[in-house]
Amino acid sequence: MIKTQVADATQEERLMDSLQFLIYARCFHGQIELINDLIQTGETLEGMNEDVRELLHQLEVTPDDEVQMQYDNLFFIPGPCYAPPYVSFYLDLAKEGQNAAVHSLSGCYERFGFLDYAHGTGVRHDHIGTVFMFLHYLLQRSVEAESETIREEAEAMYEVMLEDYLRPMFGDFEKEVSTRMIRGFYRDLVQSAHLLIEDEV
């Protein structure tokens, strides 16, 4: 369960939420082998959101080549099911030019020391996988913070990412994916991710 007010969450809850964001980030970046390694340990599943556990089970029983084909068809041009995996494509901010959201997110990343990771992905900074990874990073930072100020700043940015970037666009993104892909792991991934970020306490 994702805490809308992360400051109200216990350290254990924040760590679990962080792990769940990491799983989604890896999947949105197509890094399925890393998730499979995680599944093999088994110990990470305890206490995890039921929807996430079901998703991991689905990934475990779906052949790797099928998962890769879905990923390529959905997130790469000229895939037959292409749905742009970019936050700015679905935000009103895109009307000002999609670079506005990219630059805005880059500034957020730089402020929190995340820009090098974003550069290293080789994709635009508003890629959904990168934004999910940033949420994972912010929750980790809030847990490991050496001062109250650092913790509060990380928690505040976490809220900004959810309220200003992900929640306003994710419904349209899910609709785009569901229209183009009738069934499959990645369709379920997007639907599950939407439930996760909309979950309120």
Determine if the pTM surpasses 0.85.
yes
- pLDDT at res. 1: 45
Residue 49 identity (one-letter amino acid) = N
pLDDT at 3: 47
Q: Please, which residues bridge with residue 127 across strands? A: 86
Q: What is the pLDDT of residue 35?
A: 82
73's torsion region: left (phi>0), alpha (psi -120 to 50) or beta?
alpha
Which pLDDT tens digits describe the chain residue by residue (201 residues)? 454 456 667 888 888 899 999 999 999 999 988 887 777 766 566 778 888 889 988 998 999 999 999 999 999 988 889 999 999 999 865 455 557 888 999 999 999 999 999 999 999 999 999 999 999 999 999 999 888 999 999 999 999 999 999 999 999 999 999 999 989 999 999 999 999 998 743
Domains and CATH numbers, the chain: 6-198 (1.10.3480)
CA distance 83 to 174: 9
Q: What is the pLDDT of residues 39-57, one digit of tens each?
A: 776 656 677 888 888 998 8
Q: What pLDDT shows up at residue 96?
A: 58
| Cα–Cα distance measured from residue 115 to residue 166, given in angstroms and rounded to the nearest whole number | 19
H-type alpha helices, 29-147: 32-41, 50-61, 64-75, 87-90, 99-111, 115-120, 128-144
